[in-house]
Amino acid sequence: MTIMPALTTHSDLPPEQEEIRAKCYHPTGTFVEFEKEEVEQSITARFEKQVALYPDQIAVKTRRHSLTYAELNRAADRVAHAILEKRGQASEPVALLFEHGLDAIIGYLGTLKAGKILIVVDPSLPAERIVSMLENSQAAAIVTGHKNLSFAKALTKTEHQVINVDACDSALPQKTLGLQTSPAVVSQIVYSSGTTGQPKGVFFDHRRVLHDVMVQVNLCRICPDDRIIEFRKLSFGAGFKGLLRALLTGAAFFPYDVQRAGLAPLADFLNKEGITIFSPGISIFRHFINNLSGAEKFSSIRIISVGGAAIVHGDVEAYKKIFPESCLLVHGLSSSEAGLLSYYFINKKTDLGNTFVPVGYPVEDKKILLLDENGKEVDPGQVGEIAVQSRYLSSGYWRNTELTNARFLADPTGGDERIHLTGDLGQTTPDGSLIHLGRKDLMVKIRGYRVEIGEIERALLSHPHIKDAGVVAWEREPGEKYLVAYIVPRQHPAPTISDFREFLRGKLPDYMMPSAFMFLDSLPVTNGKLDRTALPKPADKRPEMTVPYAPPRTEIERKLSQIWAGVLSLDKVGIHDNFFDLGGHSLAATRVVSQVIKQFQIEVPLQTLFQAPTVAQMAAVITEHQGKQLASEELDRILKDLESLSEEEAQRLISDRSGTANTTD
């Protein structure tokens, strides 16, 4: 591929963007520019400077605990000493196995202080996926605590590979080690879904991470008086970046665990803690705003940065309606490989017309290119693959030279910059703003999660009774996609949909589970490849089930059947059809239970749908509780709590497969 010279970075923003950004300051005016030369150090060196500047200021606050910068530093130093005692000073991959919270943050900093390469592992992931990450990274040890100790040992071949920080010698020093780590040393590997069906690890050096933090800090003028909330786990790129933009500026960091807390108390939490920077994923943002009463005031929030997927006009209108004049909405485009690429500021006066919501203008030190299939720059207004040229890119894909060489290209001018092909499509507006048009390849966003179709297909094809399989993401509503699996079985009768779902639950996270399954005699093929465009879109009809259709027999069953069908967009639902086999997921479950409560005026816990997933079973539950109708005030409270649940919280309540809840924070 021949790459043409990069597009010129837009150093001069349009007047309206300059005007909005000029107001992007904390009211105290304590912002200090993150200087370019400060990226030439280690992440922990920058953190320790903040410790020296703000030792008594809150660094991290969870539901149960808070640590000052000095306290957090001492705790991280103790973890670092424990790791060094077991593993020495060699730079090697080390996995962290902690839930979302304070322990994970301490472990994160301690592992970096020990000069190790981080792999943050979410213990709720399927064991098979975790093993794949550990094998690919060649992790030398797993750092964990009492809660996940047995799980960690089960993942390793020899017990000495596990470091239990909860059992570390209390005599270990809690003073800074003083190790000198080069900014060119690898700091972290972040795993995401891979096109080969295996998770792929994007890895970064300290310089690349610090540069991305610098860009975000300077764009939003983050200062020591800011209070930043983060919903995403450290195992996601956005999660650890949210942590660092707080801890590397002296700001306070508030990890918010939606699986435990839910969204019902979030509005009060934002106000009580004086949160100034609110960065939810798009699904959390939409559920949050849809369940507000309208009376809430968010006077402290000055920045909303919604991530996970592109925002639409409805999201912008909700921001304008709910949040104060002083609050700005920041939209942008980022990737694990290239960090933040572009940004776009929105205030109450921003008029977007009828176009897409832009992802904006190139950030400092990033040049955005739009390329055709031959690597040549497309004409203005035409669609091309988004590429980024910079010296501040990911180092590549861990232990995958072939993919690294395919996606990272040398500087065409012979300089020290490289070019990353993002696989995203885009076009520019007349003033140079970038419009994001989605994925070029098979990567899709499902409820804010980045998903590679190939990984789901590989999991399906590992089933002994599946001959061939394909997966397509269809759009039910603007911006809301769902996955459909197309299966060619090896035998008839084929295993049931329930069998396939149970098989996939051991291999894939819940957000990668197909919502519907279709059985075909063969998959359409063009030029030897699966022709996804020829796969049929599921009709709004009841799918073929192993259980024959049985019509409602009673008035209660008739009403329930209508609720099931309405939520699942089906023409009919039999009384013995399993809700989850019909494509129901956790968010759909909350809608079903909410309607059941409204219709029958009784309390139905969300878990009931898991225990009674058919119309007939739910009808029996309702019949048993007839005569126990709730008072209107109690009914309203239950409905509000239910409708405020996040997807993760609903999933945990329906079927908790992760064991006991974390109670350390």
Model pLDDT, residue 580 = 78
Model pLDDT, residue 656 = 47
Model pLDDT, residue 652 = 63
Model pLDDT, residue 664 = 31
Q: pLDDT at residue 443 above 60?
A: yes
Model pLDDT, residue 79 = 94
- Assign 160 a pLDDT band (cuts: 50, 70, 90): low
What's the mean pLDDT in 572-595? 81
Name, of 34-38, 229-233, 585-589, the range with top average pLDDT.
Answer: 34-38
Mean predicted lDDT score pLDDT of the chain: 86
Q: Are strands 303-305 and 277-279 parallel, antiparallel or unpaired?
A: parallel
CA–CA separation, 129 vs 121, rounded Å?
Answer: 10
CA–CA separation, 246 vs 268, rounded Å?
Answer: 22
Q: pLDDT at residue 58 above 90?
A: yes
Model pLDDT, residue 8 = 38
CA–CA separation, 233 vs 513, rounded Å?
Answer: 20
CA–CA separation, 155 vs 143, rounded Å?
Answer: 12
- Among 57-66, 100-109, 602-611, 630-639, the minimum mean pLDDT is found in 630-639
CA–CA separation, 234 vs 485, rounded Å?
Answer: 30
Angle at 547 between CA 546 and CA 549, to 5 degrees: 125
What's the mean pLDDT in 548-571? 89
| More confidently predicted of 217 and 174 | 217
CA–CA separation, 221 vs 213, rounded Å?
Answer: 11
Give the total residue count for the chain: 665
Neighbour count for residue 509 (Cβ, 10 Å): 18
Q: Which of 42, 334, 380 is nearest to 187 (CA)?
A: 42
Alpha carbon 429 to its chain centroid, in Å, reads: 28
What residues form DSSP beta bridges with 304? 278, 329
Are 28 and 223 within 8 A, CB to CB?
A: yes
Q: Which of 197, 174, 119 is nearest to 152 (CA)?
A: 119
Cα 40 to Cα 202, 207, 286: the distances in Å are 21, 6, 39
- Among 310-314, 348-352, 408-412, 523-527, the minimum mean pLDDT is found in 523-527
Name, of 267-271, 520-524, 594-598, 646-650, the range with top average pLDDT.
Answer: 267-271
What's the mean pLDDT in 421-430? 90
Q: pLDDT at residue 638 above 90?
A: no
| More confidently predicted of 583 and 121 | 121
Cα 487 to Cα 225, 345, 435, 497: the distances in Å are 54, 45, 35, 10
Model pLDDT, residue 7 = 39
What are the chain's domains? 28-220 (3.40.50.12780), 443-534 (3.30.300.30), 555-654 (1.10.1200.10)
Percent with pLDDT over 70 in the chain: 88
- Give me the half-sphere count of Cα atoms (radius 13 Å) on the Cβ side of residue 596: 33
Are 469 and 460 within 8 A, CB to CB?
A: yes
Model pLDDT, residue 648 = 63
| More confidently predicted of 253 and 264 | 253
Model pLDDT, residue 17 = 93
- Assign 362 a pLDDT band (cuts: 50, 70, 90): very high
Q: pLDDT at residue 400 above 90?
A: yes
Q: pLDDT at residue 57 above 80?
A: yes
CA–CA separation, 370 vs 376, rounded Å?
Answer: 8
Neighbour count for residue 150 (Cβ, 10 Å): 12
Model pLDDT, residue 452 = 74
CA–CA separation, 596 vs 630, rounded Å?
Answer: 13
| DSSP string over 473-514 | EEEEETTEEEEEEEEEESSSSPPPHHHHHHHHHTTS-GGGS-
235-269: burial string, b at 16+ Cβ within 10 Å, e else: bbbbbbbbbbbbbbbbbbbbbbbbbbebbbebbeb
Q: Are strands 93-97 and 117-121 parallel, antiparallel or unpaired?
A: parallel
Model pLDDT, residue 337 = 94
Model pLDDT, residue 578 = 84
Model pLDDT, residue 9 = 42
- 3-state DSSP call for residue 29? coil
- Among 348-352, 372-376, 397-401, 582-586, the minimum mean pLDDT is found in 582-586
What's the mean pLDDT in 421-435? 90
- Among 372-376, 560-564, 600-604, 638-642, the minimum mean pLDDT is found in 638-642
Q: pLDDT at residue 432 above 80?
A: yes
- Assign 644 a pLDDT band (cuts: 50, 70, 90): low
- 3-state DSSP call for residue 564? helix
Is the pTM of the predicted complex or chain greater than 0.75? no
- Assign 650 a pLDDT band (cuts: 50, 70, 90): low
Model pLDDT, residue 645 = 62
Name the residue type at position 217. V
Backbone φ and ψ of 577, nearest 5°: -80, 135
| Pairs from 89-93 (Cβ < 8 Å, separation ≥ 24) | 89/114, 89/115, 89/179, 91/115, 91/116, 91/117, 91/185, 91/186, 92/116, 92/117, 92/140, 93/117, 93/118, 93/119, 93/137, 93/138, 93/139, 93/140, 93/189
Angle at 610 between CA 605 and CA 612, to 5 degrees: 85
Give the DSSP H or E segment for 169: none
Q: pLDDT at residue 171 above 70?
A: no
What's the mean pLDDT in 155-164? 80
Q: Which residues contact 361 (CB under 8 A, 6 or more apart)?
A: 10, 13, 17, 342, 343, 344, 432, 433, 434
Terminal Cα-to-Cα distance of the chain (whole angstroms) = 51
Neighbour count for residue 355 (Cβ, 10 Å): 10
- Among 314-323, 348-357, 473-482, 551-560, the minimum mean pLDDT is found in 473-482
Tokens of 366: 């990033």
- Assign 308 a pLDDT band (cuts: 50, 70, 90): low
What's the mean pLDDT in 423-441? 85
Q: What is the pLDDT of residues 463-515, one digit of tens each?
A: 888 888 889 998 876 667 889 999 988 888 888 887 888 899 888 887 888 88
